[in-house]
Each structure stands twice: as structure tokens, then as C-alpha cells.
Amino acid sequence: MARSLEWMHDDTALASYHRFAKGIAWQREWASDPDRLGEVSMTSDDDLKLMSQAIALSERCEPIDPDRHPKVGAVIAVGSTVIGRGYRGSGSPEDDKHAESVALESVPDRSHLPKATLYTTLEPCTQEVRSKPPECCTELIRQSQVKKVFIGILDPNQGVRGKGLWELQDKGIEVELFPPELAREIRVLNDRFIRAQQTLGIRFTSPKSGETIKTTGPREGVWEFRGDFINPPGEDVIAFTSQGNQWWPQPYSLRVTNLESKQWAVKMHFGGCGPHTIYIVRAGELGIDLVKYYRKVTHRMQQLKEKLKGHLKVQGKDEEEAFLKKLGGDYVGIEMSRLPKGLELQDAIDIVVE
């Protein structure tokens, strides 16, 4: 949706926002003191123009991954005079600056900031998301002593939503939201980002699909897989390895290795070599119970195998291989042609195990 700054000169549209803003402010005044009339503070035409400018700036963003990186614009103004502006980077490691931070840096004379208002299309981030103070927007806003912040939309990620607003208010900064018509425009612009934030967004990052992994050596048959997420995986997120119709639920759930950079890892066990497909699934109630049961049975079988091995005095690699062959393999997989209901696919890769 292309949106130009021409809109700001459209008197009809402005007048409708004006009426809306006036309505809200009036109701608020009325609620606080029904006798006091005539002294109504309201979102001004200037505010609405500056909010629209922030939205227009956000349209310049070119996120490399629209599921993970939002389009955000920010404008800083004293009254109706713009003193700074910025928009979010593409999300690559070299270009991952947030709009508020870019806008604050662009202000030539920082002594004006205590009189200034910041208009940002997305709720500023907190230290939970960006723990380094020079990168955390609520912290930068506090340091800048900006007087007031207008927020376009709250963060669509449920784990983050509202924390930035709360943090700013906690630091004594006045906070208001853009009117719903403008918020709707921001939501349309960030449609993919908003939808992706409702999911776990779990992906493999290493190894890549098509790669060959060598599981020989001291940790024979074991390989650590890594990936990233949008929302942290819980106990219900499980890995499977498969070869053809044989599927092996893995003994451990995914573990979060870095909450800030949203990384997970899981060690997977391989009973044999050759091409494998690796699946990450989210298990429903039934799926979880089945996997728990399978893990219990496998554990029992391993114990029995060790006992039997001791009893038969199996020694050396050749004897062990012959023993396993007689036993019918190390781990018995589950035979199924595809993922059953109750196991919801998150991501899958094909690899070759050597």
C-alpha cells in the first residue's frame, strides 16, 4: 500500500481525525472533572501530521525477513518543528538499528530533547529484548529526556506487549497512542510480522538442509542441531529423526540457549548412517503422551540391552555389532507414513549422516 505525505494536506481526512481526537480528550476531561469545561487538551493536527510522517518513514524499511523484522518509523519534534527522524534497518547484523535510536542520533542539538515529542510507529523495546543499554530504545529515550512519546501500535509479540509502554511511564515519560485509524495503517504495513509473532517461528539454522554431518568420533551417533525462534519453545516442542517410514522421537525437548538472540539447540541421536529427515514438531496432549511413553519404553529397552550385554559378556566392536544385529537394531523406530494429528510441524530439513 503506497501512502504519500500528500495525505497530510487532505483537509477532510484531517478534520475527521481532529473530531475523533477531540472526542477522546473531551471524554477524559469530563470523567476527571465534569464541572471543568473549555480547558480541553487534545491530539493536535500537528501531532497527527507527525504521526503520519512516522508511518511514511516506516514504509521505507526493507526488512530482510518480514516475519522477524517490523517496519518502524520515528519522528522527533518540538511543537511542529521536526528535529530528528529515522527508520528501522533491514535486520542484518550490520543494519539492525531501531528507528527510535536512529531518530535520536539524527538530532543535531540534543539540548532541545527535553521539550521534544517522539512519534514512533511501534512500541519501543525494553532491556528484555535488547539487554545492551546503548541498543535498548526505552533506555535511550529515558537518557534523552524526551518529554512525551506517541506509540503507533503495541508490540504484537505477547511476551513483550505493553512492557515498553509501562517502562516509559515508569520513567515519568508521558505516553499516548496513535488514533485507531493510523494504528490500522501500521498493522496493514506490518501484516506479515504481526502474523508471524503469534507463532513459535522455530527454524533450523545449523546444519542447513542438504548438508552432510559426521557423527563419528568420541560422541558417536550424536549431533547438536541449532536454530532460532520467535517465541521460546516449551517442553511440548520435540525433535524427530526419520528414515523412510521409520521415525524416532528424540530423548530431549528443544532447549533455549539464548533468550535475547532467540536461539535454541538440541542434541539428536542417530542409530544409523545415510539420508535422514529431521523434524521439529509441537506436540498436542496426545502427542506428548505418546512421546513420553515411547521414551520410557526406549529407556527400558536400553537398560535390558546393557544387562543382556553384560550377561552374554559381549566385548569389542565386532561382537557388539553382531549382538545388536541379533537384537534387531539399537533403537526401534515408530512406523508411520507422515506426521499424525497431534504433532504440528514447525520445520524440517534433509541431511546425510556419516
DSSP strand pairing (255-258 vs 263-269): antiparallel
Report the residue from 51, 55, 125, 183 that binds Zn ion according to the rule CB under 5 A. 125
DSSP assignment of 328-339, as one string? T-SS--EE-SSP
- Helix ranges, 147-261 (H): 163-170, 180-189, 191-197
Q: Which is nearer to Zn ion, 137 or 186 (CB)?
A: 137
Q: Which is nearer to Zn ion, 99 or 349 (CB)?
A: 99
| Interacting span for Zn ion (CB under 5 A) from 34-42, 119-127, 252-260, 282-290 | 119-127
* Binding status of residue 74 toward Zn ion by CB under 5 A: no
Nearer to Zn ion, 134 or 210 (CB): 134
- Least Å distance, CB 115 to Zn ion, is 23
d(CA 335, CA 329): 14
Residue range at the interface with Zn ion (CB under 5 A); choices 46-54, 129-137, 229-237, 241-249: 129-137
Which one among 48, 61, 122, 137 touches Zn ion, defined by CB under 5 A? 137
Where do the H-state alpha helices sit in 171-284?
180-189, 191-197
What angle do the packed helices 180-189 and 11-32 form, to 10 degrees?
120
Evaluate whether 336 touches 247 at the Cβ level (below 8 Å): yes
User: Which residue, 137 or 353, is less far from Zn ion as judged by CB?
Assistant: 137
The rounded distance, in Å, linking the Cα atoms of 273 and 279 is 17
Stretch that binds Zn ion, among 1-9, 27-35, 91-99, 179-187 (CB under 5 A): 91-99
Asked if the bond preceding 207 is cis, omega within 30° of 0, the reply is: yes
Q: Find the shortest distance in angstroms from Cβ 98 to Zn ion.
A: 3
Q: How many angstroms separate the CA atoms of 38 and 23, rounded?
A: 13
Distance from C-alpha of 336 to C-alpha of 277, rounded to nearest angstrom: 14
Region near Zn ion per CB under 5 A, out of 79-87, 98-106, 218-226, 238-246: 98-106
Q: Which is nearer to Zn ion, 49 or 98 (CB)?
A: 98
The smaller minimum CB distance to Zn ion, of residues 47 and 100, is found at 100
The minimum distance between CB 100 and Zn ion, in angstroms, equals 6
Alpha helices in the chain (DSSP H): 11-32, 45-58, 99-106, 137-144, 163-170, 180-189, 191-197, 285-312, 316-327
CB of 123 to Zn ion, least distance (A): 9
Binding span for Zn ion by CB under 5 A among 12-20, 81-89, 117-125, 161-169: 117-125
In the complex, least distance from residue 173 CB atom to Zn ion, rounded to whole angstroms: 15
Q: Pick out residues in 250-309 that bind Zn ion (CB under 5 A).
A: none
- Quick one: 137 or 168, whose CB is closer to Zn ion? 137
Size of the site for Zn ion (CB under 5 A): 3
Q: Which is nearer to Zn ion, 100 or 185 (CB)?
A: 100
**What are the two backbone dihedrals, phi and then psi, of residue 68, each rounded to the nearest 5 degrees?**
-115, -20
User: DSSP states of 55-122 as a string?
Assistant: HHHHTT---S-TTT----EEEEEETTEEEEEEE---SBTTB---HHHHHHHH-S-GGGGGG-EEEEEE
Pick one of 98, 163, 269, 282: the residue that binds Zn ion (CB under 5 A). Answer: 98
Nearer to Zn ion by Cβ, of 148 and 295: the residue is: 148
In sequence order, the β-bridge partners of residue 174 are: 148
Residues near Zn ion (CB under 5 A) are: 98, 125, 137
